[in-house]
Amino acid sequence: MATSNISATMKTSPSTPSKNFSYSRFITFTSNNTHSNHLFFIKPSISLRSTRSFHVKNVASDQKLIEPIPQQGVNDIPSSISSDSIASKIKYHAEFTPSFSPEKFEVSKAYFATAQSVRDALIANWNATYDYYDKFNMKQAYYLSMEFLQGRALLNAIGNLELSGPYAEALTKLGHDLENVAKQEPDAALGNGGLGRLASCFLDSLATLNYPAWGYGLRYKYGLFKQNITKDGQEEVAENWLEMGNPWEIVRNDISYPVKFYGKVVAGSDGKKHWIGGEDIKAVAYDVPIPGYRTKTTINLRLWSTKVPSQDFDLSAFNSGDHAKAYEAQTIAEKICYILYPGDDSMEGKILRLKQQYTLCSASLQDIIARFEKRCAGSLNWEEFPEKVAVQMNDTHPTLCIPELMRILIDFKGLSWKQAWEITQRTVAYTNHTVLPEALEKWSYEIMQKLLPRHVEIIELIDEQLLHTIILESGVEDLELLQKKLKEMRILDNFDLPASVLELLFPPEDNSIIDSNEEVSIYDEEEDSIEEAESTDEEKETEGENSWNKTMALFKPDPKGAKVVRMANLCVVGGHAVNGVAEIHSEIVKEEVFNEFFKLWPQKFQNKTNGVTPRRWILFCNPDLSSIISKWTGTEDWVLDTEKLAELRKFADNKDLQNEWRAAKRNNKTKIVSFIKERTGYVVSADAMFDVQVKRIHEYKRQLLNIMGIVYRYKKMKEMSAEERKAKFVPRVCIFGGKAFSTYVQAKRIVKFITDVGATVNHDPEIGDLLKVVFVPDYNVSVAEWLIPASELSQHISTAGMEASGTSNMKFSMNGCVLIGTLDGANVEIREEVGEDNFFLFGARAHEIAELRKERAEGKFVPDPRFEEVKAYIRSGVFGSSNYNDLMGSLEGNEGYGRADYFLVGKDFPSYIECQEKVDEAYRDQKRWTRMSILNTAGSYKFSSDRTIREYAKDIWNINPVDLH
């Protein structure tokens, strides 16, 4: 690929990068014979010393576009790219890299040709970026994630290249509109929610800030699922994002790695362990270039797809008619990358999920190591590996990186256990994203041992080493306390203690060690009544044996309990850094989730409050607001330096700014009115407040609290006259969006209930535009880019202490949306930055939750009468014939699975509806509301992913930015 002549400098802090970038040029020299065209790809070594004209046939209109090529060398960077030049590139791809028939130049074909023309520029910059990284071998960060929720790439890419205007003009000349062309792009179905969107924001910031980095994920054929909303609620169908191909990806058929499952481990004559037999597949690389903003730096997202070699196709079985057997190996391999998070209720589903995680880890680490070895050339030194490589595990899904890196270093590179362990710990770091006990990933030991036998051996040794560390650090004076520590901290849960650990607890010279597998009688205080007479030798011996049995019983596993591998514990032990993603979350991680680990290794624990990219989430999705911000701050630099957003505080009461601000919000709301009509059929008013809750459907995120508040509002409206309703309530359009996982029954009940409430409320002539309830189907990044700029109130109402951070709350605040929420996740820091008066707060605090649940279990909770009133109203049948007993029943009782209101909807309900009354009051005063809106944008500067990435780079990865000129 053609690249410009590029130099680079290492810097300890980023500076504003160059706006220039290189482009490859495609030139068709046309003779009088229209059938004799010769295409030349001009390489950097060729200088163009004369001016030439060229044209490409316009398949849309047959017109000829003439572009003079100035007298220059291709190594010279052009000062600007003309729309005519871009149009020529688009037409070239329409004709020579077709994905559609040649007869027409319709909008879908225009999208592919446009995307491919942009990709040319990205590949040129990508090649230049990594040529430099390879040449100078600086340290690089590798971000491993099961999800990358990228969203549409076209507008983001040309925006980062600062070519939105020229591309819009070029497409107009070709008979198309950029916005319509961009709509043809499906969202890449590589993620589910905040975890994947965070990863994508991080890649954008890494490229923009010129950090040497790379993302690794899986190339899912169908992603999670496409959500349809029917009369029965949510319906899942396969996502079709790859059906027409993906113009952004580059398949690297020459880059593939073997991945093994099952088999057995044997000791070789060389003394090494060998993992043999089993099932072998191949992971093939697909690369997606990620451009930075105002910089040539273009980093890479490498996605793995799985297959088997052609020789694994059973030709004889096919010819004999057994077609299923013939394709069996290929089917087994390919299904690993079919969908994101396959259902794991079955054994097959669990195995498939574990295969996905190991494929990501194994292929990525093999690739990272191959790149390290290539860059080191003849001076390979494994001790330098952590000085050149940083691996970040985004949640626990990539945990197998730890035993996999150990396996490669020991079994293939010949390192000792001590060397490999030190290298692994210095290389790997872990981001925790949850405090929910059920979400702290655990894997069945039996499944893992069957699927990954060598890794289980390594994990067992890591666990044994951890036990030694804990015992040596804690001592053996208080065995009950030690047992609690070991129970909490072990990687292998519900296992016997290894023999080497028993020797630490009970040295052979002091005790006759009982086999840890023997039956141990549990000491019973009630049956042990030793008389106060002088003991005989035999009695003393019996007493000692009872004491021994009691001590051993402390450390015996539960015979009825499952043996599991605790992945989060392995992450903490195997990495050098553990970070939470918001200040309150990181404190909970230290004080509750991993408290014993924190006391053992306090230096490992950090906070890295999440952030979102201001490019996609203000500049590109909200151009009206962006123009206003640039005008009133006097600069466009806020896009790279969000601290400049704070300048808006000076003008929060300025009448002219407020008028412009309201006009921008109104314009965005008008677009959503059309969008809602198109997606749902409902007609809503742009004069109403747009009240939005869009996120994954989960009980802890409490969409149920929101919809029950709406039901309460609706019931009160029905009890009033028209005049009373108008005086009491501000008109609202309540918008929901998000997917419930396909096997999460309670979440799907919530979706169904929301749609039932909407069907009733939206057709009630008495209520009219005073209240509408809309569930937007198939919520994704592109829908968010429409909804967030139009939102006025956004709900972030999770049970305090349950949400790690949240990132949508940051996007809403950046776009001048006022939040209603609990003191949970990043809400705490957002409220601090935007000001308490500009955030609607309600609900119990995180430190109160445990006591409130205890109070409930003891039968002391007394529900608010308004809460009981709403439940009775729902059960009355007003929202249709569906049975809501299971949904309402989950909020009742004092204990039991699926009952007892674990997420405290009933406890926070009165506080919530009272807070909503304050929202109405504030919204009536539009001057006050607009001021609140402006101050939310002004206070959102902290929540840029640029700030987050700088902190990761400095505190965890130890990498420096590299400016390419």
Identify the active-site residue in 696, 725, 772, 871.
696
Measured distance CA(696)–CA(224) in Å, rounded: 12
* Residue among 147, 197, 158, 162 nearest 181 (CA): 158
Q: DSSP assignment of 99-125, as one string?
A: SS-TT---HHHHHHHHHHHHHHHHHHH
542 is catalytic: no
Instruction: Identify whether 359 is a catalytic site residue.
Output: no
Active site residue 433: yes
Please pick, among 197, 226, 455, 701, the residue that the annotation labels catalytic. Answer: 701
Determine which one of 388, 811, 853, 931 is catalytic.
811
How distant, in Å, are the alpha carbons of 158, 270, 415 from that of 418?
49, 19, 8
Catalytic annotation, pick one of 695, 725, 853, 856? 695
Q: What is the DSSP letter of 956?
A: I
Alpha-carbon distances of 551 from 478, 488, 499, 555, rounded to whole Å: 11, 18, 15, 7
* Distance, CA of 257 to chain centre: 25
Strand, helix or coil at 631? helix
Q: Is 263 left (phi over 0), alpha (psi -120 to 50) or beta?
A: left
**Do residues 252 and 285 make contact, with C-beta atoms less than 8 angstroms apart?**
yes
Cα dist from 814 to 685, 706, 758, 781, whole Å: 24, 23, 29, 16
What is the distance between the alpha carbons of residues 439 and 793, in angstroms, rounded to a whole number? 29
Is there a catalytic annotation at residue 226?
no
Which residue out of 152, 173, 397, 433 is catalytically annotated?
433
Considering 807, 930, 937, 948, which one is annotated as catalytic? 807
For 484, other C-beta atoms within 10 Å of its C-beta total 13
> Six-digit token pair at 317?
């079985």
* Closest C-alpha to 519, from 483, 557, 492: 557
d(CA 141, CA 384): 14
- In sequence order, the β-bridge partners of residue 693 are 736
Query: Directed axis angle between helix 781-790 and helix 655-680, to 10°?
Result: 140
Q: Is 323 a catalytic residue?
A: no
Q: What's the distance, CA 176 to chain centroid?
A: 34
User: CA–CA separation, 780 vs 948, rounded Å?
Assistant: 23
CA dist 133 and 298 (Å) reads 12
Identify which of 77, 67, 69, 70 has the alpha carbon closest to the alpha carbon of residue 3.
77
- Fill in the DSSP letter of residue 229: E
Count of all residues that appear for the chain in the document: 965
Cβ–Cβ < 8 Å for 753, 879? yes
Ramachandran assignment for 162, one of left (phi > 0), alpha (psi -120 to 50 degrees), beta (any other): left
CB-neighbour burial class of residue 871 (10 A; exposed 0-12, middle 13-18, buried 19+): buried
Contact 936, 817 (CB under 8 A): yes
Asked about 484 being catalytic, the answer comes back as no
User: Distance (Å, rounded) from C-alpha 751 to C-alpha 192?
Assistant: 16
Q: What share of the chain is helix, strand, coil (3-state, %, to 5)?
A: 50, 15, 35
Residues annotated as part of the active site = 433, 695-696, 701, 807, 811
